[in-house]
Structure 1
Amino acid sequence: MDQDLINSLGDELYSAFLTRSTITPLTGRGLDITLEQAYQIQQRFIACRLEAGETVVGKKIGVTSKPVQQFLGVYQPDFGILTSGMQIAGDNVIDLDGLIQPKAEAELAFVLKEDLNGPGITAMDVIRATDYVVPCFEIVDSRITDWKIRIEDTVADNASCGVYVLGDVKGDPRKLDLTLAGMVLYKNGELYSTSVGAAVQGSPANAVAWLANTLGELGIPFKAGEVILSGSQSELVAVQHGDELECNVGGLGRCKVKFSGRSAV
């Protein structure tokens, strides 16, 4: 696959993002896309967003837990880039009109106080470099029709990034057992699922260390102040107008989010 085609596919994904439309799976077009080329397409997609005025504010790990892997049929982690246009602040209300086919997942976010440069990063290094952790919701969204994705599709689509919401309570990861901390997820006031941090690669800190090392091999550092989403601890949750989600993490606190606007297409 030559650079012109890589650029064209990245531009196509960016156009789908702008128009809230979907495209046919890249892997279903007779293209022999490698994982490396999928990340190059992702880089083009992100470059378009940066050229439009957004900035990089962090990174995310995707497809880390078994429920998400089974739903998507993708069985290895991937990563995406978080931009300034993805964070929802203020009243934590998400407008569905700005998304295409969203699904919510509950997880932990790490906010860094120091740079991390892999490879060779351990979970303990991650803990030492973290300013605080917060419960959060990531609303994943796919530009690929009907979520019919393989690993190369979701990688090219920036790991299916949508938007994210951070909780208000900041926790010190040195005083929390992130592996055993339980997470309880409620949808519209009713219990939806329960999990523990170990559901994510044995520990959320392990997942962040994996990403630091994976990006380090590509010459991409973690920078102080960045937000790192460590991967879903819950099943993917379908959402529509009027829905309210809340996740509670033992010893840490909660994150709540509401959804408004018409149902996604």
Structure 2
Amino acid sequence: MFSNHLANAWNIGEGVQPVTALNPDLHVDDAYKIQLYTIQQQVQSGQTITGKKIGLTSKSMQTMLGVGEPDFGHLLDGMELKNGDSLSFKKLLQPKVEAEIAFILTEVDLKQIGMALYHNDVLQNTGVGAAALGNPAKCVAWLANKLADYDVALKAGEVVLSGALSAAIEVKPGDRCRAKFAELGEVAVSFTE
């Protein structure tokens, strides 16, 4: 029922009531089970899981949303963009941009990685790796432990996004965003009609 509710929102490209509005007694474990069922359906339809996403790693975001720990989601091959690609705004619903460190194991002190997020070449936010649970590597450890609760494992070659280092910024068609990470490089995306 909930999975169909969410799939319908995705298919028509419009927001729907949160599933907690349909069932206020929904527990976080139920929400993860709904997510896992939805991901299973997407995999059966031909998509491939390419990684995991950790969210709500900063205390400010947890406080704002009234939660006490991070959350996680899955990354699918249909979600991927190459650095510098454009993305049609018509495929998005309430889009925002966050800058995160993606893990494919490095020998860098991730707590010290500085980040600058630009919107249409104007600096909007800065952050540092320590903003994600004190160290982005701790986010990955949290994810591995949390996934084990649902009998899900991190797999070789998957990407793990460790959580945003600053607040998300809203975007609209014609916008371009880029994030510069000290020692790691730069990524960019633009949005078309």
| Residue from 205, 217, 237 that aligns with 2:169 | 237
Mark the CA change 1:64 to 1:90 in structure 2 (over 3 Å): closer, same or farther.
closer
- Deviation >3 Å, runs of 4+: 66-75
- 2:24 matched to 1:31? yes
Q: Percent identity, please.
A: 41
| Residue from 139, 142, 157 that aligns with 1:207 | 139
Alpha-carbon distance in 1 for matches of 2:169, 2:83: 22
| Residue from 99, 102, 120 that aligns with 1:106 | 99
Q: What residue is the counterpart of 2:47 in the other structure?
A: 54
Structure 1 gaps of 5+ residues are: 1-7, 112-129, 131-172
**Deviation of residue 20 (structure 1)?**
0.6
Q: Does the CA contact (< 8 Å) of 2:88 and 2:192 recur in 1?
A: yes
Q: Does the CA contact (< 8 Å) of 1:11 and 1:48 recur in 2?
A: no
**Deviation of residue 31 (structure 1)?**
3.4
* AA matched with 1:191: L
Encode CA deviations 1:78-105: one digit per residue, 9 max, x unaligned: 0011111111136411111111111110
- 2:86 matched to 1:93? yes
Q: Does the CA contact (< 8 Å) of 1:58 and 1:81 recur in 2?
A: yes
Q: What residue is the counterpart of 2:6 in the other structure?
A: 13
**Deviation of residue 209 (structure 1)?**
0.9
**Deviation of residue 259 (structure 1)?**
1.0
* AA matched with 2:38: F
Encode CA deviations 1:152-191: one digit per residue, 9 max, x unaligned: xxxxxxxxxxxxxxxxxxxxx21x2110111111111111
**Deviation of residue 15 (structure 1)?**
1.6
Encode CA deviations 1:176-211: one digit per residue, 9 max, x unaligned: 211011111111111111111000001111101110
User: Could you tell which deviates more after superposition, 228-237 or 67-76?
Assistant: 67-76
Q: Does the CA contact (< 8 Å) of 1:14 and 1:48 recur in 2?
A: no
Size of the aligned set, in residue pairs, is 193
Q: Does the CA contact (< 8 Å) of 2:113 and 2:182 recur in 1?
A: yes
Alpha-carbon distance in 2 for matches of 1:81, 1:246: 23
Q: What residue is the counterpart of 1:256 in the other structure?
A: 188
Alpha-carbon distance in 2 for matches of 1:242, 1:110: 29
Q: What residue is the counterpart of 1:63 in the other structure?
A: 56
1:86-165 mapped onto 2 (5 Å cutoff): 86-89=79-82, 91-111=84-104, 130=105
Alpha-carbon distance in 1 for matches of 2:95, 2:66: 17
Q: What residue is the counterpart of 1:134 in the other structure?
A: none
Q: What residue is the counterpart of 2:151 in the other structure?
A: 219
Secondary structure, in 3 states, of the residue corresponding to 1:22? coil
Q: What residue is the counterpart of 2:116 in the other structure?
A: 184
**Deviation of residue 22 (structure 1)?**
1.6
Q: Does the CA contact (< 8 Å) of 2:83 and 2:187 recur in 1?
A: no
